[in-house]
Amino acid sequence: MLNATTPGLTSPNLYNALTNVPGLQERPDISLLHIDGPLPPEQVKRIPFKDLLLGSLHEVNMMQQNADYAVEKLMTGGEIGTAEVLTALQKADIAFKLMMQIRNKLVGAWQEIQNLRV
């Protein structure tokens, strides 16, 4: 259990440790942000939905391949750390789960459209 008598955690040391966290003091000033609202239609880059979906599938596939390569490299004694492998696996897993949720929403929306009475 930590308390004020624990070596290294005296009140001034604890205060300094908690107040000198890198990046904690460097918050952006939100008042400097200038938001005009949405961009006009002529400035919006239009990407066809098909291309957006295929690009996302390609990215998920690349993450899966990177994770497979990282596991293979770890198992064969390559120069890779366990943390890097676990990070690659988690990224691939999260991306795949998100892709499946999007797929399920699209299938559900398509089924609703098919069930509409005209």
The number of residues in the chain equals 118
**What is the CB neighbour count within 10 angstroms for residue 44?**
9
* C-alpha span between 108 and 114 (Å, rounded): 10
Q: What is the pLDDT of residues 87-111, one digit of tens each?
A: 999 999 999 999 999 999 999 999 9
Q: Which amino acid is present at 24?
A: L
Q: Domain coordinates of the chain in residue numbers?
A: 11-114
Question: Which contacts of 38-41 are long-range, i.e. CB under 8 A and separated by 24 or more positions?
Answer: none
Residues of the chain with pLDDT under 50: 1-10, 24
- Mean residue pLDDT of the chain comes to 80
pTM given for the model: 0.59
Residue 52 phi/psi, 5° resolution?
-65, -45
**pLDDT at 4 (0 to 100):** 47
**pLDDT at 1 (0 to 100):** 42
